[in-house]
């Protein structure tokens, strides 16, 4: 449950809305972002719908509870590095620095706990201080540092 946000399950028709809300020219060097193109966003949405249908893991559109405006996305998916749920989130640029990612992520982690999951993890680039703060506020701790095609990647986990 979130005080300021309404969490609506991502559905196949959400790609256009997500692309419009989450495309951020200031982050154009973020090579791994699925929101760099409409095709990438459409693919991302399809994977999230598949995750829900196959594993019951949900991703949510985050909407301002008062205005209904789309402010971001948050959810879990089956992780790429482990067969456990991986937390992910993205907030539209104009809504950042308001604690919305933390609020949404806390609601999603609570949902995982209530579903009987034992652990959730998140992958964060070492220089992404804002994301590090989000997961640390959720009680996540650095568990490992890996390397992928884009460089170092910290893996944070929390036992539920």
Give 113-154 pLDDT, tens digit per residue.
Answer: 998 989 999 999 999 999 999 999 999 999 999 998 889 999
Please say whether the beta carbons of 71 and 5 come within 8 A.
yes
Range of the domain at 79: 5-159
What's 154's domain CATH number?
3.40.630.30
Give the C-alpha separation, 83 to 109, whole Å: 16
Which pLDDT band holds residue 55 (cuts at 50, 70, 90)?
A: confident
At 25-54, the pLDDT tens digits run: 655 445 566 777 889 889 989 989 988 888
Cα–Cα distance measured from residue 98 to residue 79, given in angstroms and rounded to the nearest whole number? 27
CA distances from 2 to 63, 73, 91, 115 (A): 11, 13, 15, 17
The total number of structural domains in the chain stands at 1
């Amino acid at each position: 449950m979130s005080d300021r946000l309404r969490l609506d399950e991502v559905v196949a028709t959400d790609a256009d809305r997500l692309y419009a809300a989450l495309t951020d020219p200031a982050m154009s060097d973020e090579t791994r972002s699925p929101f760099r193109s409409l095709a990438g966003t459409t693919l991302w949405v399809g994977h999230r719908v598949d995750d829900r249908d196959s594993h019951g893991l949900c991703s949510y559109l985050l909407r301002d509870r008062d205005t209904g405006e789309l402010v971001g996305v948050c959810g879990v998916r089956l992780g790429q590095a482990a067969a456990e749920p991986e937390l992910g989130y993205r907030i539209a640029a104009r809504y950042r620095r308001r604690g919305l990612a933390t609020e949404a992520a806390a609601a999603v982690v609570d949902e995982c706990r209530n579903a009987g999951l034992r652990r959730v993890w998140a992958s964060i680039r070492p220089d992404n201080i804002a994301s590090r703060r989000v997961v640390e506020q959720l009680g996540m701790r650095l568990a490992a540092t890996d390397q992928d095609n884009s460089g170092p990647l910290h893996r944070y986990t929390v036992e539920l």
